[in-house]
Structure 1
């Protein structure tokens, strides 16, 4: 029975590590606990759409909640591993009152100390297998801290790339280049650079799916509000006389179609055309889609 309880704890630890791995290093569209937390918070925020401050906190709050969930599951998992073997398989420092506490409380305490890499030493494993296994909790705690810092450092550059593209599209819409201006070498270079930026954002949505749940502030910095103008520019370029402009317009249209596919598969599930997907994307972020 003791080993069954310990195996249950090991299963909890593995579940948390699997979720961490798939969220940070091998993203898939098959959501785990982290994806469930993010989608739930996003759904709740949509009901509070009028309160922009609340919506703007969804992304950071979701990341904090996910990291907290990983830490709690790992701590409870290791505590469950220790619990059946407490106190017999552990030694206690002289004068420590830990041995008079409940076995469950001591197990949670030891797990907290180990995952935080404090090394207080008032409770230490005595059995050989525990002495070999328990240091792995400290390694997992260090890995969790490192992964959290890396996650934060990686997500904000992705958000910056998305917002830069949105602002660029807003500025282009404001100047609204004519068909004649677009049908030129400069127009071809413009469409090609937009295709490259759209492809980068598409990769960001694949690699950092949690970026979808970050609010972008005003309309001019929201890709959900401005992506429609990129579609209009692609359509305008496809009717140009110059072959290089038509080619780069096709590249932009293809990049936009790929982006729509990712948005629909991972978040929106409309099974619609790219135009319908982008309209749903704008609605989901409380925006009106930019029109030509």
Structure 2
């Protein structure tokens, strides 16, 4: 029975590590615990659309919540591993009152101290296998800290790329180039560069799905609000006479269609056309889609 309880704890730890792995290093369209938490917070925030400050905190708050969830599951899991073997398999420091506490509380305390790599030494594993497991928990705690820092450092460049594309599209919408103006070498380069940026954003939504739950602020920096204008530019490029401009227009249209597919598969689930997906994307972010 003791080993069965310990195996339940191991299962909790493995579930947290699996979710961490798939969130940070091998994201899938099916998501996991972290995606469920982020989606729930995002949907809850939709009821507070009038309060922009609340919506703007969803992304950072979701990341903090997910990291706290990972840490909590790992600490609880290892505590369950220790619990059936407490206190007989452990040595307590002389004068320590830890042995007088409930066994589950001692297990939680030891797990928390170990995962934080504090090494206070008032409770020390005595059995051989526990002396191996305890340092392993410290390594997991260090890995969790490192992964959290890496996650933060990776997500914000992805957000920057998305907002740069949005601002660029907003500026182009202000000048509103016609098909004739795009029907030149410069127009072809412009459309080609936009296609490249759209592809980068598409990759960011694949690799960093949590970026979807970050609010972009004003309309001119919100991709959800201006992505429709990129569709209009692609159509104008496809109507150009120059082969290079037409090719660039087709490239941009293909990149936008691919982006719409990723948004629909991972977040929106409309099953509609790219225009319908982008309209749903804009609505989900509290915006209205503009194409001209």
Q: Is TM (by shorter chain) over 0.5?
A: yes
Q: 1:42 deviation in Å?
A: 0.4
Aligned to 1:166: 166
1:58-77 maps to which residues of 2 (within 5 A)?
Answer: 58-77=58-77
Q: d(CA) in 1 for partners of 2:232 and 2:178?
A: 12
Q: 1:179 deviation in Å?
A: 1.8
Cα deviation 1:82-124 (Å, max 9, x = unaligned):
0000000000111111111111110000000000000011000
Q: 1:175 deviation in Å?
A: 0.6
Q: d(CA) in 2 for partners of 1:82 and 1:71?
A: 17
Cα deviation 1:210-240 (Å, max 9, x = unaligned):
0000000000000000000000000001010
Q: d(CA) in 1 for partners of 2:183 and 2:147?
A: 47
Q: 1:47 deviation in Å?
A: 1.1
Q: 1:288 deviation in Å?
A: 0.9
Aligned to 1:279: 279
DSSP 3-state at the match of 2:48: coil
Aligned to 2:145: 145
Cα deviation 1:136-169 (Å, max 9, x = unaligned):
0000000000000000000000000000000000
Aligned to 2:223: 223
Q: d(CA) in 2 for partners of 1:61 and 1:178?
A: 42
Q: d(CA) in 2 for partners of 1:179 and 1:77?
A: 61
Q: Is the 8 A contact 2:16 2:70 kept in 1?
A: yes
Q: d(CA) in 2 for partners of 1:220 and 1:124?
A: 58
Q: 1:291 deviation in Å?
A: 1.9
Q: d(CA) in 2 for partners of 1:24 and 1:179?
A: 42
Question: TM-score, normalised to structure 1's length?
Answer: 0.99
Q: 1:202 deviation in Å?
A: 0.1
Q: d(CA) in 2 for partners of 1:64 and 1:149?
A: 11
Aligned to 1:57: 57
Q: 1:28 deviation in Å?
A: 0.4
Q: d(CA) in 2 for partners of 1:11 and 1:110?
A: 19
Q: d(CA) in 2 for partners of 1:179 and 1:202?
A: 26
Question: TM-score, normalised to structure 2's length?
Answer: 0.99
Aligned to 1:178: 178
- Cα RMSD of the aligned pairs, angstroms, is 0.5
Cα deviation 1:48-74 (Å, max 9, x = unaligned):
111111100000000000000000000
Q: d(CA) in 2 for partners of 1:137 and 1:57?
A: 32
Q: d(CA) in 2 for partners of 1:184 and 1:75?
A: 61
Q: Is the 8 A contact 2:231 2:291 kept in 1?
A: no
Structure 1 segments of 4+ aligned residues over 6 angstroms from their partners: none
Q: Is the 8 A contact 2:178 2:236 kept in 1?
A: no
User: Runs of 5+ in structure 1 lacking a partner?
Assistant: none
1:5-154 maps to which residues of 2 (within 5 A)?
Answer: 5-154=5-154
Aligned to 2:263: 263
Aligned residue pairs total 292
Cα deviation 1:154-194 (Å, max 9, x = unaligned):
00000000000000000000011122210000000000000
